[in-house]
Amino acid sequence: MARSGAAMVAGRRAVLAGAVTSAMSTLPRQGKAAQPGVPEAFDPPRPLPAFAFTDAHGREHGVADFRGQVLMINLWATWCPPCVAEMPTLDRLQAMLAGIGVRVLALSQDRGGAPVVARFYEQTGVRHLGIWLDPRGAAARTLGARGLPTTLVVTRDGREAMRLVGEAEWDAPEMVRLIRTIAGRPAPETTRRS
């Protein structure tokens, strides 16, 4: 019997919730190769190597330009199906958490540059992400990315707290909670009425 779309999404989110819970309970996993789809956390957060990337206008930037913000550095490309699948979730996460100083830097590996990314954003309805470029893959190499997508979560002081290789549902409640915790702004507790 075929499952409905909503049931499939709910099932994927349940699997993701289990993976996040499992991964976070066995941390730190420093020194081990990251497993696709399972977050690898670093406690304490580890230093990032220096690297540069550009904005849509060709201006060079680095992590230091965003000090004081929690960064989600997502290495992706429009030709990468898992990357394409997760971009709407990153867009929604950016909209949800911008107010607490979380910034998604989706570094496109596309050689076509800003026009390719702008066209992709327009076609897919991505509205909250900026255009950030790494067309020669220099940042990806410096960061030791083993494939796309790869996402690093960087603390407000520029240290890598978490890495996830592979596609994720970044706007799933468990992921939002995890990013909020890294940002030092856990979700408010809800009170139950008796």
Count of other CB atoms within 10 angstroms of residue 155: 19
The per-residue pLDDT for 37 is 82
Label residue 26 by pLDDT band (50, 70, 90): very low
Q: In what order do the strands lie in the sheet with 60-61?
A: 40-47, 159-165, 150-154, 70-76, 102-108, 132-133, 53-55, 60-61
pLDDT value of residue 35: 74
Q: Count structural domains, the chain.
A: 1
Would 191 be classed as within a structural domain? no
135 part of a folded domain: yes
**Peptide bond before 28: cis, by omega within 30 degrees of 0?**
yes
Confidence of residue 1 (pLDDT cuts 50, 70, 90): very low
pLDDT reported for residue 38: 87
Mean pLDDT score of the chain, rounded to an integer? Answer: 85
- Please report whether residue 189 resides in a domain: no
Q: What is the pLDDT of residue 28?
A: 38
Q: For residue 33, with 0-12 CB atoms within 10 Å meaning exposed, 13-18 middle and 19 or more buried, which class applies?
A: exposed
The answer as to whether 71 is a domain residue is yes
Q: 179 pLDDT band (50/70/90 cuts)?
A: very high
pLDDT band at 18 (very low <50, low <70, confident <90, very high): very low
Q: Which domain holds residue 111?
A: 5-182
Question: In angstroms, what CA-CA distances link 39 with 1, 44, 94?
Answer: 33, 15, 19
User: Which of 9-18, 97-106, 109-118 has the least mean pLDDT?
Assistant: 9-18
Residue 166 lies inside a defined structural domain of this protein: yes
Asked whether 169 and 91 are in contact (CB, 8 A), the reply is no
Contacts for 158 with CB less than 8 Å, ≥ 6 apart: 47, 48, 63, 64, 67
Average pLDDT over residues 152-174: 97
Q: Is residue 70 part of a domain?
A: yes
Q: For 48-67, what is the mean pLDDT?
A: 97
pLDDT at 191: 43
Residue-level pLDDT at 27? 39
| Mean pLDDT to the nearest integer, 142-168 | 97
Angle among Cα 126, 103, 77 to the nearest 5 degrees reads 50
Give the CATH number of the domain where residue 67 resides.
Answer: 3.40.30.10
Q: Does 190 fall in a domain?
A: no
φ, ψ of residue 4 to 5 degrees: the values are: -70, 160
**What is the average pLDDT across 6-28?**
41
Share of the chain above pLDDT 70, in %: 78
In a domain? residue 53 = yes
